[in-house]
Amino acid sequence: MFDVGFSELCLIGLVSLLVIGPEKLPKVARLAGFWLGKTRSMVASVKEEIKLELHAEEMRQMFKEQSGLPEVQQILDETSNTLKSTIEPLSMIQNDLDTETVDKVNQHKEPLPIEKAVQHEPK
């Protein structure tokens, strides 16, 4: 921004000492420092607000671009339909296998000793 060296600061200090005087110089320096700090904080907050607004605008643009892509939605729908058509036969096969497995287990299942006793009891 400004290129102020040590020699320029000494010259400003000497001139202000001569113009303002030694009694008022500390008060003026304190006041100048206060306003300089206020100005810096205000500039920093404005920069931060601008940065946030630019980020928000970028996000809005990205959302507009994403919602404006019907091809992507079409690809997603096609993929979903393909997966559904692939999963349905697989689930039917799994159900058939589960039924066959249960039938085989039931055929080879030996009754428990208690079940044998119940079956042989006279009624």
Q: Tell me if 25 sits within 8 A of 16, measured CB to CB.
A: yes
Q: Give just the sign of the alpha carbon dihedral 105, 106, 112, 116.
A: negative
pLDDT tens for 31-44 read: 999 999 999 999 99
Q: What percent of the chain has pLDDT over 90?
A: 24
Least confident of 84-88, 103-107, 112-116: 112-116
Q: Rounded to whole angstroms, how far apart are CA atoms 57 and 61?
A: 6
The pLDDT assigned to 35 comes to 94
Average pLDDT over residues 66-82: 78
Q: Which amino acid is at 108?
A: H
**Residue 96 pLDDT > 80, yes or no?**
no
More confident site: 31 or 92: 31
Q: Rounded to whole angstroms, how far apart are CA atoms 49 and 44?
A: 9
Tokens of 46: 């404005």
Query: What pTM value is reported for the model?
Result: 0.43
